[in-house]
Amino acid sequence: MSVLENLPGRHCSIAASLEVVGDRWSLLAVREVSFGNHRFTEILEGTGAPRDRLAARLKALVAAGVLERRRYQDAPPRFGYHLTAAGKDLLPVLRALMAWGDRWVVDEPPVTLLHHDHELVSETVCATCQEPVRNRDVTRRANSPT
């Protein structure tokens, strides 16, 4: 909640999420780590971010609990970045963004996701009633008075 208080506009978890991962490089950094690129230089090249920005973002993501900085060698001390539980939980967001980009931005998907050994076609269902979620079936209820 505390994050929301200092935010302009509507109280909403979307705004709260964007406050954490809504900048230009964070989600790409998470993508790289999820692709198995744990080292600073790998993430640097994978994202294309400037070094200083990447260093700052990684620090912030560690502070936010999205990434974990783990020592993988002692002399000299070197660290790799790994997804925390919160970080792994971002993968559905990345898959949704990727599906959207595949459909509406790029001509041809540069990367295809595979589920077991067939192509992954994500569909969202409501866990309660097992029905596929269509936009028109979704409404919202505000919980806080503001």
Partner DNA sequence: CCGGGTTGGTTGGAGTATCGAACCGACGCG
Partner DNA sequence: CGCGTCGGTTCGATACTCCAACCAACCCGG
Sites of contact with DNA (CB under 7 A): 8, 23-25, 39-42, 49-53, 55-56, 58-59, 69, 75-76, 78-80
* C-beta closer to DNA: residue 23 or 102: 23
- Residue 52 binds which entry of DNA, a second copy, none, with Cβ cut-offs from 5 to 8 Å by kind? DNA
CB of 22 to DNA, least distance (A): 10
Integer Cα distance of 7 and 13 in angstroms: 11
- Residue 41 binds which entry of DNA, a second copy, none, with Cβ cut-offs from 5 to 8 Å by kind? DNA
CA-to-CA dists, residue 55 to 76, 82, 85, 88, 102, angstroms: 18, 15, 21, 20, 29
Integer Cα distance of 42 and 32 in angstroms: 8
- Residue 62 binds which entry of a second copy, DNA, none, with Cβ cut-offs from 5 to 8 Å by kind? none
Residue 13 in tokens: 């978890």
The dihedral sign for the CA sequence 27, 20, 9, 92: positive
Binders in 83-112 for a second copy, by CB under 8 A: 86, 88-112
